[in-house]
Amino acid sequence: MKTPLVALALMLGLAAPALAQDNPPTLSANGTGSEDAAPDIAFITLGVLSHAETAREALDANNEQMDGVIQTVRGEKVADKDIATTGFSIGPVYSQEPQRPDGSHTPPKIVGYQVSNQVRIVVRDLDALGVILDKAVTAGANQAASINFVIENRTELAEKAVVAAITDARHKAELMAEAAGVRLVRVLSVNANENGGPPMPMFEARAMAAADKSVPVMRGEQTVSASASITWEIAPK
């Protein structure tokens, strides 16, 4: 009666290592990395808003002012490929009629027309950005939507951030393995990627009035970050 039990025990004993190899114990660690750099390109959106009694007069005035803005920007060595119209509208301007004694309202009347034209400008020489803003306002720009600073070539920074994230994950895994009394045998999986897309910090362009000095512009720094997750097979020391 004992022989079959002994045989069964031996069979289970031989099968245990095989099962352990199919599902080895593992240890996983996450890491992060980042690289900082100053942006080297800016996207600015400038516009011209014009009013007149007729749509034709408003359009003519707007065309003249916008042409002056574009010519001024070109004069600061901004290429035509970096100047693009992003918005155009034309519409009536209505009067604000007072309320009647009975509570009703007099229908508003058209008292004029307004035309809006906006262009996006890519500035590749950030040292000239303040001068471009100042001269554009002098030339007729009276609207400013935003200034977006970006790093044009992020590839090298993203690669460095990924390497840093993987290094951080390995360091954490080594600390955990040492504390747990095990050793890292081999890497089973690695996942690493840059976090999100290009950051686009936005700064309101509030001081957009003609001045004797160029508009002060602070570009700051941006961070390119990455994360990594690595899983190791582990074994007792």
Specify the CATH number for the domain of residue 168: 3.30.110.170
**Residues 46, 136: one domain?**
yes
Query: Residue 194 sits in which domain range?
Result: 24-38+153-199+218-237
Paired with 31 in beta bridges are 228
Average pLDDT over residues 51-71: 96
Look at 137 and 21; give whichever has higher pLDDT: 137
Residue 210 within a domain:
no
Q: How confident is the model at residue 210 (pLDDT cuts 50, 70, 90)?
A: very low
Amino acid at 49: L
**Residues 193, 134: one domain?**
no
Residue 143 within a domain:
yes
The string of pLDDT tens digits covering residues 160-202 is 999 999 999 999 999 999 999 999 999 999 999 988 654 433 3
DSSP per-residue string spanning 50-111: EEESSHHHHHHHHHHHHHHHHHHHHHTT--GGGEEEEEEEEEEEE--PPBPTTS-BPPP-EE
Residue 11 within a domain:
no
**Residues 121, 183: one domain?**
no
**Residues 139, 160: one domain?**
no
**Residues 91, 161: one domain?**
no
**Residues 178, 146: one domain?**
no
**Residues 69, 118: one domain?**
yes
**Residues 142, 175: one domain?**
no
User: In terms of Cα–Cα distance, which of 230, 59, 51, 73 is closest to 139?
Assistant: 73
Q: Which of 64-73, 87-96, 100-109, 195-204 has the lowest mean pLDDT?
A: 195-204
Residue 17 within a domain:
no
Residue 211 within a domain:
no
Measure the CA–CA gap between 148 and 42, rounded to whole angstroms. 6
Residue 2 within a domain:
no
**Residues 67, 121: one domain?**
yes
The string over 9-31, giving b where at least 16 C-beta atoms fall within 10 Å of a residue's C-beta and e elsewhere, is eeeeeeeeeeeeeeeeeebebeb
Count of residues in the chain? 237
**Residues 177, 133: one domain?**
no
In degrees and rounded to multiples of 5, residue 127 shows phi and psi of: -65, -20
**Residues 166, 177: one domain?**
yes
Paired with 84 in beta bridges are 120
Average pLDDT over residues 79-97: 93
Specify the CATH number for the domain of residue 73: 3.30.70.2970
The string of pLDDT tens digits covering residues 97-146 is 787 787 777 888 999 999 999 999 999 999 999 999 999 999 999 998 88
The answer to whether the predicted template modeling score (pTM) of the entire model surpasses 0.75 is: no
Number of domains, the chain = 2
